Protein backbone atom coordinates (compact mmCIF):
# COMPACT_ATOMS: atom_id res chain seq x y z
CA UNK A 1 0.00 0.00 0.00
CA UNK A 2 1.24 3.50 -0.85
CA UNK A 3 -0.01 6.72 0.71
CA UNK A 4 0.24 9.84 -1.48
CA UNK A 5 0.60 12.95 0.65
CA UNK A 6 -0.12 16.48 -0.46
CA UNK A 7 2.15 18.85 1.51
CA UNK A 8 0.05 21.17 3.61
CA UNK A 9 -3.00 18.90 3.50
CA UNK A 10 -2.09 15.73 5.38
CA UNK A 11 -4.79 14.62 7.82
CA UNK A 12 -4.61 13.00 11.23
CA UNK A 13 -6.15 9.87 9.73
CA UNK A 14 -3.37 9.64 7.15
CA UNK A 15 -0.69 10.23 9.76
CA UNK A 16 -2.16 7.54 11.99
CA UNK A 17 -2.21 5.15 9.05
CA UNK A 18 1.48 5.79 8.45
CA UNK A 19 2.20 5.01 12.10
CA UNK A 20 0.05 1.91 12.40
CA UNK A 21 1.00 0.32 9.07
CA UNK A 22 4.09 -0.17 6.95
CA UNK A 23 2.64 1.78 4.05
CA UNK A 24 5.02 3.39 1.59
CA UNK A 25 4.78 7.18 1.54
CA UNK A 26 5.29 9.46 -1.46
CA UNK A 27 4.68 13.12 -2.11
CA UNK A 28 2.06 14.18 -4.61
CA UNK A 29 3.58 15.26 -7.92
CA UNK A 30 2.17 18.76 -7.43
CA UNK A 31 4.91 19.37 -4.85
CA UNK A 32 7.76 18.95 -7.34
CA UNK A 33 7.80 22.46 -8.93
CA UNK A 34 8.00 24.21 -5.57
CA UNK A 35 10.72 21.86 -4.35
CA UNK A 36 12.82 22.50 -7.45
CA UNK A 37 12.31 26.27 -7.37
CA UNK A 38 13.48 26.50 -3.75
CA UNK A 39 16.51 24.31 -4.43
CA UNK A 40 17.46 26.46 -7.41
CA UNK A 41 17.35 29.61 -5.28
CA UNK A 42 19.62 27.98 -2.70
CA UNK A 43 22.04 26.90 -5.41
CA UNK A 44 22.33 30.49 -6.65
CA UNK A 45 22.87 31.77 -3.11
CA UNK A 46 25.64 29.24 -2.54
CA UNK A 47 27.46 30.52 -5.62
CA UNK A 48 26.99 34.18 -4.69
CA UNK A 49 28.91 36.62 -2.53
CA UNK A 50 26.20 37.47 -0.01
CA UNK A 51 26.32 35.66 3.33
CA UNK A 52 23.32 33.35 3.74
CA UNK A 53 22.98 31.52 7.04
CA UNK A 54 23.63 27.80 6.77
CA UNK A 55 24.34 28.01 3.06
CA UNK A 56 27.76 29.63 3.08
CA UNK A 57 28.17 30.34 6.80
CA UNK A 58 28.70 28.31 9.94
CA UNK A 59 25.86 27.44 12.30
CA UNK A 60 24.49 28.82 15.56
CA UNK A 61 27.13 30.89 17.33
CA UNK A 62 29.41 30.29 14.30
CA UNK A 63 27.04 32.02 11.87
CA UNK A 64 29.58 34.82 11.34
CA UNK A 65 32.13 32.42 9.85
CA UNK A 66 32.05 32.45 6.03
CA UNK A 67 32.46 29.18 4.13
CA UNK A 68 34.30 28.98 0.82
CA UNK A 69 32.14 27.98 -2.21
CA UNK A 70 34.12 24.79 -2.64
CA UNK A 71 33.43 23.72 0.93
CA UNK A 72 29.64 24.11 1.05
CA UNK A 73 28.98 20.40 0.40
CA UNK A 74 31.49 19.37 3.09
CA UNK A 75 29.84 21.88 5.42
CA UNK A 76 26.53 20.02 5.18
CA UNK A 77 28.10 16.60 5.73
CA UNK A 78 30.07 17.88 8.72
CA UNK A 79 26.90 19.37 10.16
CA UNK A 80 25.11 16.03 10.04
CA UNK A 81 27.93 14.03 11.59
CA UNK A 82 28.70 16.57 14.34
CA UNK A 83 25.05 16.67 15.37
CA UNK A 84 24.69 12.89 15.76
CA UNK A 85 24.86 13.15 19.54
CA UNK A 86 21.70 11.29 20.48
CA UNK A 87 21.71 8.90 23.42
CA UNK A 88 19.30 6.55 25.14
CA UNK A 89 16.69 4.08 24.00
CA UNK A 90 16.22 3.74 20.25
CA UNK A 91 13.00 5.19 18.89
CA UNK A 92 10.61 2.50 17.69
CA UNK A 93 10.37 1.79 13.98
CA UNK A 94 6.77 2.95 13.55
CA UNK A 95 7.40 6.37 15.10
CA UNK A 96 10.66 6.73 13.18
CA UNK A 97 8.81 6.12 9.92
CA UNK A 98 6.24 8.73 10.89
CA UNK A 99 9.05 11.19 11.62
CA UNK A 100 10.51 10.56 8.16
CA UNK A 101 7.11 11.11 6.54
CA UNK A 102 6.74 14.39 8.45
CA UNK A 103 10.09 15.56 7.10
CA UNK A 104 8.86 14.76 3.59
CA UNK A 105 5.71 16.80 4.21
CA UNK A 106 7.64 19.76 5.56
CA UNK A 107 10.27 19.86 2.83
CA UNK A 108 7.57 19.21 0.24
CA UNK A 109 6.11 22.66 0.88
CA UNK A 110 8.94 24.11 -1.24
CA UNK A 111 10.48 26.39 1.37
CA UNK A 112 13.37 24.28 2.67
CA UNK A 113 15.60 24.17 -0.39
CA UNK A 114 16.13 20.41 -0.21
CA UNK A 115 16.42 18.89 -3.68
CA UNK A 116 14.06 16.28 -5.04
CA UNK A 117 16.98 13.84 -5.32
CA UNK A 118 17.56 13.98 -1.58
CA UNK A 119 13.88 13.80 -0.65
CA UNK A 120 13.48 10.78 -2.90
CA UNK A 121 15.98 8.93 -0.68
CA UNK A 122 13.49 9.25 2.21
CA UNK A 123 10.73 7.90 -0.02
CA UNK A 124 12.89 4.96 -1.10
CA UNK A 125 13.82 4.18 2.52
CA UNK A 126 10.17 4.17 3.56
CA UNK A 127 9.24 1.97 0.61
CA UNK A 128 12.04 -0.56 1.12
CA UNK A 129 11.89 -0.61 4.93
CA UNK A 130 15.26 0.95 5.72
CA UNK A 131 14.75 2.64 9.09
CA UNK A 132 17.40 4.88 10.68
CA UNK A 133 18.44 4.08 14.24
CA UNK A 134 17.35 7.17 16.19
CA UNK A 135 18.42 7.52 19.85
CA UNK A 136 15.48 9.10 21.60
CA UNK A 137 17.27 11.55 23.91
CA UNK A 138 19.19 14.68 23.03
CA UNK A 139 16.69 17.22 21.71
CA UNK A 140 15.52 20.29 23.62
CA UNK A 141 12.92 21.12 20.99
CA UNK A 142 14.38 24.32 19.60
CA UNK A 143 16.62 24.96 16.61
CA UNK A 144 14.72 21.85 15.67
CA UNK A 145 15.08 18.30 16.95
CA UNK A 146 18.72 18.49 15.96
CA UNK A 147 20.21 15.27 17.30
CA UNK A 148 17.35 12.88 16.37
CA UNK A 149 17.01 14.34 12.88
CA UNK A 150 20.79 14.25 12.41
CA UNK A 151 20.73 10.48 13.01
CA UNK A 152 18.00 10.21 10.35
CA UNK A 153 20.01 12.32 7.90
CA UNK A 154 23.18 10.34 8.66
CA UNK A 155 21.48 7.14 7.58
CA UNK A 156 20.41 8.87 4.36
CA UNK A 157 24.06 9.58 3.47
CA UNK A 158 25.19 6.10 4.46
CA UNK A 159 26.52 6.94 7.93
CA UNK A 160 25.32 5.79 11.32
CA UNK A 161 23.05 2.79 11.65
CA UNK A 162 19.77 1.52 10.24
CA UNK A 163 17.41 -1.40 10.67
CA UNK A 164 16.69 -3.48 7.59
CA UNK A 165 14.77 -6.76 7.46
CA UNK A 166 14.79 -6.91 11.25
CA UNK A 167 18.57 -6.53 11.61
CA UNK A 168 20.52 -3.55 12.92
CA UNK A 169 23.52 -2.75 10.73
CA UNK A 170 25.62 0.10 9.33
CA UNK A 171 23.35 2.41 7.34
CA UNK A 172 25.54 2.21 4.26
CA UNK A 173 25.14 -1.55 4.21
CA UNK A 174 21.35 -1.29 4.67
CA UNK A 175 21.04 1.16 1.78
CA UNK A 176 23.16 -1.07 -0.45
CA UNK A 177 21.13 -4.16 0.39
CA UNK A 178 17.92 -2.24 -0.40
CA UNK A 179 19.32 -0.92 -3.68
CA UNK A 180 19.20 2.73 -2.56
CA UNK A 181 21.97 5.16 -3.48
CA UNK A 182 23.03 7.33 -0.51
CA UNK A 183 22.11 11.00 -0.68
CA UNK A 184 24.83 13.45 -1.71
CA UNK A 185 24.00 16.66 0.08
CA UNK A 186 23.71 19.92 -1.82
CA UNK A 187 24.02 23.36 -0.12
CA UNK A 188 21.68 23.85 2.86
CA UNK A 189 20.34 20.29 2.66
CA UNK A 190 21.96 19.08 5.86
CA UNK A 191 20.58 22.06 7.71
CA UNK A 192 17.15 21.59 6.15
CA UNK A 193 17.09 17.95 7.20
CA UNK A 194 18.03 18.46 10.87
CA UNK A 195 16.15 21.71 11.50
CA UNK A 196 12.50 21.10 12.29
CA UNK A 197 10.10 19.66 14.84
CA UNK A 198 9.50 16.28 13.19
CA UNK A 199 10.80 14.12 16.07
CA UNK A 200 8.78 15.96 18.71
CA UNK A 201 5.72 16.07 16.47
CA UNK A 202 5.90 12.36 15.59
CA UNK A 203 6.20 11.36 19.26
CA UNK A 204 3.37 13.72 20.22
CA UNK A 205 1.16 12.34 17.46
CA UNK A 206 1.68 8.76 18.62
CA UNK A 207 0.84 9.91 22.14
CA UNK A 208 -2.32 11.54 20.82
CA UNK A 209 -3.41 8.49 18.81
CA UNK A 210 -2.91 6.19 21.80
CA UNK A 211 -4.62 8.59 24.20
CA UNK A 212 -7.70 8.73 21.99
CA UNK A 213 -7.88 4.93 22.01
CA UNK A 214 -7.52 4.89 25.78
CA UNK A 215 -10.31 7.42 26.17
CA UNK A 216 -12.57 5.33 23.93
CA UNK A 217 -11.81 2.26 26.04
CA UNK A 218 -12.60 4.22 29.21
CA UNK A 219 -16.12 4.79 27.88
CA UNK A 220 -16.60 1.02 27.76
CA UNK A 221 -14.93 0.35 31.11
CA UNK A 222 -16.91 3.06 32.89
CA UNK A 223 -20.20 1.73 31.52
CA UNK A 224 -19.33 -1.81 32.54
CA UNK A 225 -18.30 -0.57 35.99
CA UNK A 226 -21.59 1.30 36.34
CA UNK A 227 -23.51 -1.92 35.79
CA UNK A 228 -21.14 -3.85 38.05
CA UNK A 229 -22.01 -1.62 41.02
CA UNK A 230 -25.64 -1.28 39.85
CA UNK A 231 -25.11 2.45 39.40
CA UNK A 232 -27.55 4.97 38.04
CA UNK A 233 -27.64 6.16 34.45
CA UNK A 234 -29.67 9.26 35.36
CA UNK A 235 -26.49 11.42 35.28
CA UNK A 236 -26.21 10.56 31.57
CA UNK A 237 -29.44 12.37 30.69
CA UNK A 238 -28.90 14.54 27.62
CA UNK A 239 -30.48 17.61 29.21
CA UNK A 240 -27.88 17.73 31.97
CA UNK A 241 -25.01 17.94 29.51
CA UNK A 242 -26.78 20.32 27.15
CA UNK A 243 -26.98 22.85 29.99
CA UNK A 244 -23.19 22.60 30.48
CA UNK A 245 -22.55 22.96 26.77
CA UNK A 246 -19.07 21.42 26.40
CA UNK A 247 -18.89 19.31 23.26
CA UNK A 248 -16.71 16.55 24.72
CA UNK A 249 -18.97 16.10 27.73
CA UNK A 250 -22.05 15.92 25.51
CA UNK A 251 -20.34 13.38 23.22
CA UNK A 252 -19.17 11.12 26.05
CA UNK A 253 -22.59 11.12 27.74
CA UNK A 254 -24.27 10.30 24.42
CA UNK A 255 -21.83 7.45 23.78
CA UNK A 256 -22.34 6.06 27.29
CA UNK A 257 -26.13 6.13 26.89
CA UNK A 258 -25.84 4.19 23.66
CA UNK A 259 -23.40 1.63 25.09
CA UNK A 260 -25.63 0.99 28.13
CA UNK A 261 -28.89 0.90 26.19
CA UNK A 262 -30.86 -2.26 26.97
CA UNK A 263 -29.08 -3.21 30.20
CA UNK A 264 -31.28 -5.54 32.22
CA UNK A 265 -29.07 -4.87 35.24
CA UNK A 266 -29.93 -1.18 35.06
CA UNK A 267 -33.65 -1.77 34.66
CA UNK A 268 -33.68 -4.15 37.64
CA UNK A 269 -32.97 -1.36 40.12
CA UNK A 270 -34.35 1.71 38.38
CA UNK A 271 -37.35 1.79 40.76
CA UNK A 272 -36.95 1.72 44.51
CA UNK A 273 -33.16 2.30 44.50
CA UNK A 274 -32.25 3.88 47.84
CA UNK A 275 -29.08 5.46 46.45
CA UNK A 276 -29.78 9.00 45.30
CA UNK A 277 -26.28 9.66 43.94
CA UNK A 278 -23.33 7.46 43.01
CA UNK A 279 -19.72 8.44 43.76
CA UNK A 280 -18.15 10.96 41.42
CA UNK A 281 -16.10 8.36 39.58
CA UNK A 282 -19.39 6.95 38.25
CA UNK A 283 -21.52 10.07 38.16
CA UNK A 284 -18.97 12.46 36.66
CA UNK A 285 -17.39 10.29 33.97
CA UNK A 286 -18.88 12.42 31.13
CA UNK A 287 -17.59 15.60 32.73
CA UNK A 288 -14.05 14.26 33.25
CA UNK A 289 -13.63 12.16 30.12
CA UNK A 290 -15.44 14.84 28.11
CA UNK A 291 -13.03 17.52 29.25
CA UNK A 292 -10.14 15.20 28.38
CA UNK A 293 -11.67 14.61 24.95
CA UNK A 294 -11.93 18.35 24.31
CA UNK A 295 -8.29 18.77 25.31
CA UNK A 296 -7.16 15.90 23.08
CA UNK A 297 -9.12 17.22 20.13
CA UNK A 298 -7.49 20.62 20.50
CA UNK A 299 -4.04 19.04 20.77
CA UNK A 300 -4.79 16.94 17.70
CA UNK A 301 -5.63 20.06 15.69
CA UNK A 302 -2.36 21.67 16.80
CA UNK A 303 -0.35 18.61 15.81
CA UNK A 304 -2.09 18.31 12.43
CA UNK A 305 -1.14 21.92 11.73
CA UNK A 306 2.44 21.29 12.81
CA UNK A 307 2.67 18.12 10.72
CA UNK A 308 1.93 20.23 7.65
CA UNK A 309 4.19 23.10 8.68
CA UNK A 310 7.60 24.19 7.42
CA UNK A 311 9.64 24.32 10.60
CA UNK A 312 13.28 24.55 9.53
CA UNK A 313 15.54 27.59 9.14
CA UNK A 314 16.32 29.62 7.13
CA UNK A 315 13.29 29.48 4.87
CA UNK A 316 13.37 29.88 1.10
CA UNK A 317 10.72 32.41 0.08
CA UNK A 318 10.59 31.63 -3.63
CA UNK A 319 8.00 34.27 -4.54
CA UNK A 320 10.10 36.98 -2.91
CA UNK A 321 13.34 35.54 -4.24
CA UNK A 322 15.09 35.48 -0.89
CA UNK A 323 16.25 33.25 1.93
CA UNK A 324 15.26 34.49 5.38
CA UNK A 325 16.17 33.38 8.90
CA UNK A 326 13.31 32.94 11.34
CA UNK A 327 12.24 30.81 14.28
CA UNK A 328 9.76 28.21 13.03
CA UNK A 329 11.97 25.48 14.47
CA UNK A 330 10.90 26.46 18.00
CA UNK A 331 8.56 23.66 19.06
CA UNK A 332 6.50 25.55 21.64
CA UNK A 333 3.15 24.62 20.01
CA UNK A 334 4.17 20.95 20.10
CA UNK A 335 5.35 21.23 23.69
CA UNK A 336 2.02 22.72 24.76
CA UNK A 337 0.15 19.98 22.86
CA UNK A 338 2.24 17.27 24.54
CA UNK A 339 1.56 18.77 27.96
CA UNK A 340 -2.17 18.87 27.22
CA UNK A 341 -2.16 15.23 26.12
CA UNK A 342 -0.30 14.29 29.29
CA UNK A 343 -2.91 16.03 31.45
CA UNK A 344 -5.72 14.20 29.65
CA UNK A 345 -4.00 10.82 30.05
CA UNK A 346 -3.43 11.41 33.76
CA UNK A 347 -7.04 12.36 34.44
CA UNK A 348 -8.56 9.53 32.40
CA UNK A 349 -6.47 7.17 34.51
CA UNK A 350 -7.23 8.92 37.79
CA UNK A 351 -11.00 8.53 37.52
CA UNK A 352 -10.71 4.99 36.12
CA UNK A 353 -8.54 4.00 39.08
CA UNK A 354 -11.18 5.25 41.49
CA UNK A 355 -13.73 3.00 39.83
CA UNK A 356 -11.38 0.05 40.31
CA UNK A 357 -11.04 0.96 43.98
CA UNK A 358 -14.82 1.31 44.26
CA UNK A 359 -15.45 -2.18 42.91
CA UNK A 360 -12.91 -4.05 45.08
CA UNK A 361 -13.74 -2.29 48.37
CA UNK A 362 -16.51 -4.16 50.20
CA UNK A 363 -17.52 -0.99 52.05
CA UNK A 364 -18.21 0.81 48.78
CA UNK A 365 -19.02 -1.79 46.15
CA UNK A 366 -22.73 -2.26 46.91
CA UNK A 367 -22.87 -5.97 47.87
CA UNK A 368 -20.11 -7.21 45.58
CA UNK A 369 -17.79 -9.65 47.39
CA UNK A 370 -14.53 -8.24 48.76
CA UNK A 371 -11.91 -7.87 46.01
CA UNK A 372 -14.35 -9.51 43.58
CA UNK A 373 -13.46 -13.06 44.54
CA UNK A 374 -16.17 -15.67 45.28
CA UNK A 375 -14.23 -16.93 48.31
CA UNK A 376 -12.53 -13.98 50.02
CA UNK A 377 -9.99 -14.73 52.70
CA UNK A 378 -8.68 -17.90 51.14
CA UNK A 379 -8.36 -15.88 47.94
CA UNK A 380 -7.16 -12.28 47.55
CA UNK A 381 -8.86 -11.83 44.18
CA UNK A 382 -8.14 -8.50 42.51
CA UNK A 383 -6.69 -6.88 45.62
CA UNK A 384 -3.19 -6.27 44.28
CA UNK A 385 -4.35 -5.58 40.74
CA UNK A 386 -5.99 -2.49 42.25
CA UNK A 387 -2.73 -1.58 43.98
CA UNK A 388 -0.96 -1.79 40.63
CA UNK A 389 -3.43 0.67 39.12
CA UNK A 390 -2.83 3.03 42.04
CA UNK A 391 0.92 2.86 41.43
CA UNK A 392 0.54 3.60 37.73
CA UNK A 393 -1.99 6.37 38.36
CA UNK A 394 0.47 8.05 40.71
CA UNK A 395 3.31 7.65 38.24
CA UNK A 396 1.23 9.29 35.52
CA UNK A 397 0.40 12.18 37.80
CA UNK A 398 4.11 12.85 38.26
CA UNK A 399 4.78 12.49 34.54
CA UNK A 400 1.96 14.94 33.74
CA UNK A 401 3.88 17.86 35.23
CA UNK A 402 4.47 20.37 32.41
CA UNK A 403 7.65 20.13 30.37
CA UNK A 404 7.09 23.29 28.32
CA UNK A 405 7.92 25.53 31.28
CA UNK A 406 11.36 23.98 31.79
CA UNK A 407 13.46 26.00 29.35
CA UNK A 408 17.24 26.01 29.59
CA UNK A 409 19.74 27.99 27.49
CA UNK A 410 21.94 26.03 25.07
CA UNK A 411 24.51 26.55 22.32
CA UNK A 412 26.53 29.29 24.03
CA UNK A 413 23.29 31.17 24.83
CA UNK A 414 22.42 31.59 21.15
CA UNK A 415 19.49 29.24 21.74
CA UNK A 416 18.50 30.83 25.03
CA UNK A 417 14.87 29.69 25.24
CA UNK A 418 13.87 26.16 24.26
CA UNK A 419 10.56 24.28 24.29
CA UNK A 420 11.47 20.86 25.73
CA UNK A 421 8.90 19.46 23.31
CA UNK A 422 10.88 16.28 22.72
CA UNK A 423 11.03 15.57 26.44
CA UNK A 424 7.31 16.27 26.77
CA UNK A 425 6.44 14.09 23.80
CA UNK A 426 8.58 11.07 24.71
CA UNK A 427 6.90 10.63 28.09
CA UNK A 428 3.52 10.10 26.44
CA UNK A 429 4.47 6.56 25.41
CA UNK A 430 5.10 5.54 29.01
CA UNK A 431 1.98 7.32 30.22
CA UNK A 432 -0.24 5.61 27.65
CA UNK A 433 1.27 2.23 28.50
CA UNK A 434 0.38 2.88 32.13
CA UNK A 435 -3.14 3.93 31.18
CA UNK A 436 -3.59 0.77 29.08
CA UNK A 437 -3.06 -1.20 32.27
CA UNK A 438 -5.32 0.93 34.46
CA UNK A 439 -8.23 0.63 32.03
CA UNK A 440 -7.44 -3.03 31.39
CA UNK A 441 -7.67 -3.80 35.10
CA UNK A 442 -10.91 -1.81 35.33
CA UNK A 443 -12.32 -3.99 32.56
CA UNK A 444 -11.25 -7.13 34.45
CA UNK A 445 -12.90 -5.89 37.64
CA UNK A 446 -16.05 -4.70 35.90
CA UNK A 447 -16.41 -7.97 33.99
CA UNK A 448 -16.10 -9.90 37.24
CA UNK A 449 -18.62 -7.59 38.92
CA UNK A 450 -21.18 -7.85 36.13
CA UNK A 451 -20.95 -11.65 36.25
CA UNK A 452 -21.84 -11.54 39.95
CA UNK A 453 -25.13 -9.93 38.87
CA UNK A 454 -26.24 -13.06 36.95
CA UNK A 455 -28.81 -14.00 35.85
CA UNK A 456 -29.27 -10.27 35.17
CA UNK A 457 -27.42 -9.20 32.03
CA UNK A 458 -25.74 -6.02 30.93
CA UNK A 459 -26.52 -4.28 27.64
CA UNK A 460 -26.04 -6.00 24.27
CA UNK A 461 -23.08 -3.75 23.45
CA UNK A 462 -21.40 -4.48 26.76
CA UNK A 463 -22.15 -8.19 26.42
CA UNK A 464 -20.07 -8.10 23.22
CA UNK A 465 -17.22 -6.41 25.06
CA UNK A 466 -17.55 -8.90 27.91
CA UNK A 467 -17.46 -11.82 25.49
CA UNK A 468 -14.23 -10.49 24.00
CA UNK A 469 -12.67 -10.13 27.44
CA UNK A 470 -13.70 -13.64 28.42
CA UNK A 471 -12.35 -15.06 25.17
CA UNK A 472 -8.91 -13.94 26.36
CA UNK A 473 -9.19 -13.87 30.18
CA UNK A 474 -11.08 -16.48 32.19
CA UNK A 475 -13.36 -15.54 35.07
CA UNK A 476 -11.35 -15.30 38.28
CA UNK A 477 -12.39 -18.01 40.71
CA UNK A 478 -9.44 -19.28 42.73
CA UNK A 479 -6.33 -17.10 42.87
CA UNK A 480 -3.90 -17.54 40.00
CA UNK A 481 -0.86 -15.86 38.46
CA UNK A 482 -2.27 -12.45 37.52
CA UNK A 483 0.43 -10.65 35.56
CA UNK A 484 -0.43 -12.44 32.33
CA UNK A 485 -4.11 -11.54 32.61
CA UNK A 486 -3.26 -7.89 33.20
CA UNK A 487 -0.97 -7.83 30.16
CA UNK A 488 -3.73 -9.30 27.98
CA UNK A 489 -6.29 -6.82 29.28
CA UNK A 490 -3.91 -3.92 28.58
CA UNK A 491 -3.36 -5.19 25.04
CA UNK A 492 -7.11 -5.35 24.38
CA UNK A 493 -7.22 -1.65 25.19
CA UNK A 494 -4.04 -0.66 23.31
CA UNK A 495 -5.10 -2.54 20.19
CA UNK A 496 -8.53 -0.88 20.21
CA UNK A 497 -10.38 -4.18 20.28
CA UNK A 498 -12.64 -3.75 23.29
CA UNK A 499 -13.79 -0.26 22.31
CA UNK A 500 -14.43 -1.44 18.74
CA UNK A 501 -16.93 -3.99 20.07
CA UNK A 502 -19.09 -1.04 21.15
CA UNK A 503 -18.26 1.29 18.22
CA UNK A 504 -17.20 3.99 20.66
CA UNK A 505 -15.23 5.95 18.06
CA UNK A 506 -18.35 6.30 15.93
CA UNK A 507 -20.57 7.11 18.90
CA UNK A 508 -18.27 9.90 20.04
CA UNK A 509 -18.55 11.45 16.59
CA UNK A 510 -22.34 11.29 16.66
CA UNK A 511 -23.10 8.07 14.78
CA UNK A 512 -26.41 6.41 15.61
CA UNK A 513 -25.97 3.28 17.70
β-strand partners of 376: 379
Residue 171: name the closest of 179, 162, 184 by CA: 162
Which of 77, 246, 283, 497 is flagged as catalytic?
Answer: 283
From residue 331, alpha-carbon distances to 6, 200, 243, 335, 475 in Å are 23, 8, 37, 6, 48
β-strand partners of 24: 2
**Annotation says 83 is catalytic:** yes
Question: CB under 8 Å to 476, separation ≥6 — which residues?
Answer: 372, 373, 381, 382, 444, 448, 485
**Nearest-angstrom CA–CA distance, 19 and 101:** 10
313 close to 194: Cβ distance less than 8 angstroms: no
**Annotation says 298 is catalytic:** no
Which of 56, 195, 214, 432 is flagged as catalytic?
Answer: 195
**Annotation says 415 is catalytic:** yes
Which of 164, 199, 329, 336 is flagged as catalytic?
Answer: 329
Within 13 Å and on the Cβ side, how many CA atoms surround 509?
Answer: 6
Which DSSP letter does residue 331 get?
Answer: -
Q: Which H/E stretch holds residue 16?
A: helix 12-20
Which of 59, 83, 161, 436 is flagged as catalytic?
Answer: 83
Which of 28, 168, 280, 470 is flagged as catalytic?
Answer: 280
Residue 490: name the closest of 438, 445, 448 by CA: 438
β-strand partners of 168: 163
Q: Which H/E stretch holds residue 152?
A: helix 146-156
Buried b (16+ CB within 10 A) or exposed e, 487-510: eebbebbbebbbbbbbbbbebbee
Rg (C-alpha) for the chain, rounded Å, is: 26
Which DSSP letter does residue 113 get?
Answer: -
Q: Work out whether the CA dihedral 32, 106, 414, 82 comes out positive or negative.
A: negative
**Annotation says 329 is catalytic:** yes
Buried b (16+ CB within 10 A) or exposed e, 110-141: bbbbbbeebbbbbbbbbbbbbbbbbbbebbbb
Question: Which value, to the nearest 10 degrees, does the dihedral of the CA atoms of residues 96, 99, 100, 104 take?
Answer: 170
257 close to 461: Cβ distance less than 8 angstroms: no
Which of 415, 442, 457, 501 is flagged as catalytic?
Answer: 415
Question: CB under 8 Å to 260, separation ≥6 — which residues?
Answer: 223, 226, 227, 233, 236, 266, 458, 459, 461, 462
**Annotation says 127 is catalytic:** no
Q: Give alpha helix (H) positions in 314-458.
A: 332-360, 383-399, 421-451
**Nearest-angstrom CA–CA distance, 325 and 432:** 37
Residue 24: name the closest of 45, 52, 49, 3 by CA: 3
**Annotation says 53 is catalytic:** yes
Which residues are identified as catalytic?
53, 83, 195, 280, 283, 329, 415
Amino acid sequence: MTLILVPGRATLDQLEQIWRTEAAVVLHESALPGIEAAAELVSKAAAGDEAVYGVNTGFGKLASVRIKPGDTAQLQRNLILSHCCGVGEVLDIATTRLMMALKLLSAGRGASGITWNTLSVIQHMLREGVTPVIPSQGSVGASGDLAPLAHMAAAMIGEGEAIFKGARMPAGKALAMAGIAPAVLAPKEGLGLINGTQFSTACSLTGYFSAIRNLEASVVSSCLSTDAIMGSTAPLEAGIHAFRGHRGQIDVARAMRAVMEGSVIRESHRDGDSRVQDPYCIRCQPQVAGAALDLLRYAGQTLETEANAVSDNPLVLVAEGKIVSGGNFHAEPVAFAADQIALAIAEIGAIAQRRVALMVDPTLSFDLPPFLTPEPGLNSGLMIAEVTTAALMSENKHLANPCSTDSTPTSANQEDHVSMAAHGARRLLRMNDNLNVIIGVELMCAAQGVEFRAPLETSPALQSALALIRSEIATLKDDRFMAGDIAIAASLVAEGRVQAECNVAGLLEGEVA
